[in-house]
């Protein structure tokens, strides 16, 4: 597709090898499409192909919540791409409960595996290669709701908060090697996962959550987040590391 308007230019990611977790739906699929349009070679993952793998991307089925899943993804990346220059940790999600004290032990564990440890494990396998090559960009997808600490989502938000803290520390460690690590924090985005979560939340708590839309007057689109991810992964952000970019239509004010 030709470069136009606010899209990243064809060729901007030419020669780059990108791995995007959770690329069969929603935000991840938009990131994969945008990277392909900009010339990257892309491998994406999900537990199964029930979603759609964007045309042109390689795919590996793996559960990011396990050590075996992380190894399978890293092996597939070496096989399909030969290495990874851009690593986007997007797979994640939330299942709300009645309140913080109603969140069962296994859901705490699951939230930590999916939204935090998955990234730690995959980084441990793939970031050393970036450090050796003295180049690379890692983007973690968190959530703009983290500072709000909403009780029904505390397992998810605590896991994402850990991800943000870890992301800053990893950025400091890898900066001298020229590897950048940044976070994108989306607000309410129209995706299958986002819609399902908000429906579950509305059933648990019919009083409105933090706003039924955003100050900018609409919910986010997957491409709104994909553009932020591509910016942070691109050379345009070559002096940016350890940052957390909120893309939420102004929904969650920050100090």
Ligand X SMILES: NC(=O)c1ccc[n+]([C@@H]2O[C@H](COP(=O)([O-])OP(=O)(O)OC[C@H]3O[C@@H](n4cnc5c(N)ncnc54)[C@H](OP(=O)(O)O)[C@@H]3O)[C@@H](O)[C@H]2O)c1
- Residues near ligand X (CB under 6 A): 21-28, 45-48, 50-51, 63-65, 90-93, 114, 141, 143, 186, 188-189, 191-194
Q: Which is nearer to ligand X, 142 or 234 (CB)?
A: 142
Provide, rounded to whole angstroms, the least separation between the CB of residue 234 and ligand X. 19
In the complex, the smallest distance separating the C-beta of residue 133 from ligand X, rounded to whole angstroms, is 26
Within 10 Å of residue 153's Cβ, how many Cβ atoms?
A: 25
Contacts (Cβ under 8 Å, ≥6 apart) of 232: 137, 139, 180, 182, 184, 240, 243, 245
Which C-beta is closer to ligand X: that of 132 or that of 199?
A: 199
Name every residue whose Cβ is closer than 8 Å to that of residue 184 and which is 6 or more positions away in sequence.
139, 140, 141, 142, 225, 228, 229, 232, 244, 245, 247
Interstrand relation of 58-61 and 41-46 (parallel, antiparallel or unpaired): parallel
Close Cβ partners of 26 (under 8 Å, ≥ 6 residues apart): 189, 191, 192, 193, 194, 222
Smallest distance from ligand X to CB 92, Å: 2
In the complex, minimum distance from the CB of residue 134 to ligand X, in angstroms, rounded to a whole number: 29
Chain CA centroid to CA 3, Å: 24
Q: 156, 166, 201, 246: which one is catalytic?
A: 156
Nearer to ligand X, 38 or 150 (CB): 150
Task: Report the residue number, 141 or 174, with the smaller CB distance to ligand X.
Answer: 141
Residue nearest to ligand X (CB): 193
Annotated catalytic, 166? no
Neighbouring residues of 63: CB distance < 8 A, sequence distance ≥ 6 = 47, 69
- Active site residue ranges: 156
């Amino acid at each position: 597709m030709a470069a136009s308007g606010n899209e990243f230019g064809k060729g901007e990611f030419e020669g780059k090898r990108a791995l995007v977790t959770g690329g069969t739906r929603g935000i991840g699929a938009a990131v994969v499409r945008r990277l392909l349009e900009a010339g990257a070679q892309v491998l994406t993952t999900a537990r199964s192909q029930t979603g759609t793998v964007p045309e042109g991307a390689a795919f590996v089925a793996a559960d990011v919540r396990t050590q075996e899943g992380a190894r399978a993804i890293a092996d597939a990346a070496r096989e399909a791409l030969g290495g990874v220059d851009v690593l986007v940790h997007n797979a994640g999600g939330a299942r709300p409960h009645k309140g913080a004290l109603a969140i069962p032990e296994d859901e705490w564990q699951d939230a930590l595996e999916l939204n935090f440890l998955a990234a730690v494990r995959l980084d441990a396998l793939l970031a050393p290669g970036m450090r050796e090559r003295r180049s690379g960009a890692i983007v973690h997808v968190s959530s703009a709701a983290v500072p709000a600490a909403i009780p029904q989502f505390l397992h998810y938000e605590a896991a994402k908060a850990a991800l943000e803290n870890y992301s800053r520390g990893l950025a400091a460690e890898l900066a001298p090697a020229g590897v950048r690590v940044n976070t994108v924090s989306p607000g309410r985005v129209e995706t299958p996962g986002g819609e399902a979560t908000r429906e579950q939340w509305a059933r648990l708590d019919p009083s409105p959550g933090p706003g039924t839309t955003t100050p900018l007057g609409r919910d986010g689109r997957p491409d709104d987040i994909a553009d932020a991810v591509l910016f942070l992964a691109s050379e345009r952000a070559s002096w940016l590391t350890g940052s957390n970019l909120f893309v939420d239509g102004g929904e969650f004010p920050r100090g």
